[in-house]
Amino acid sequence: MLVLVAPGQGAQTPGFLTPWLELPGAADRVATWSDAIGLDLAHYGTQADADAIRDTSVAQPLLVAAGILSASALGDMAAIAPGAVAGHSVGEITAAAFAGVLDDSAALTLVRKRGLAMADAAAITETGMSALLGGDPEISVAHLEKLGLTPANVNGAGQIVAAGTLEQLAVLNEDKPEGVRKVVPLKVAGAFHTHHMAPAVDALAKAAADLTPADPTLTYVSNKDGRTVATGAEVLERLVGQVANPVRWDRCMETFKELGATAFIEVSPGGTLVGLAKRALPGVKTLALKTPDDLDAARELIAEHSA
Q: Which residues are catalytic?
A: 89, 193
Q: Hey, what CATH topology would domain 127-185 get? A: Alpha-Beta Plaits (3.30.70)
Please name the residues in contact with 234: beta carbons below 8 A apart, sequence gap of 6 or more.
none
From first to last of the 307 residues of the chain, give the pLDDT tens digit. 999 999 999 899 999 999 999 999 999 999 999 999 999 999 999 999 999 999 999 999 999 999 999 999 999 999 999 999 999 999 999 999 999 999 999 999 999 999 999 999 999 999 999 999 989 989 999 999 999 999 999 998 788 999 999 999 999 999 999 999 999 998 788 999 999 999 999 999 999 999 999 999 999 999 999 999 999 999 999 999 999 999 999 999 999 999 999 999 999 999 999 999 999 999 999 999 999 999 999 999 999 998 6
Return the beta strands (E) in the chain as ranges.
2-6, 84-87, 127-134, 150-156, 159-165, 180-185, 220-221, 228-229, 263-266, 285-288
Considering the segment(s) 2-122+194-305 as one domain, its CATH architecture is 3-Layer(aba) Sandwich (3.40)
Nearest in space to 88 (alpha carbons), one of 13, 165, 4, 163: 4
Residues of the chain with CATH 3.30.70.250: 127-185
> Which residues of the chain are in CATH 3.40.366.10 domains?
2-122+194-305
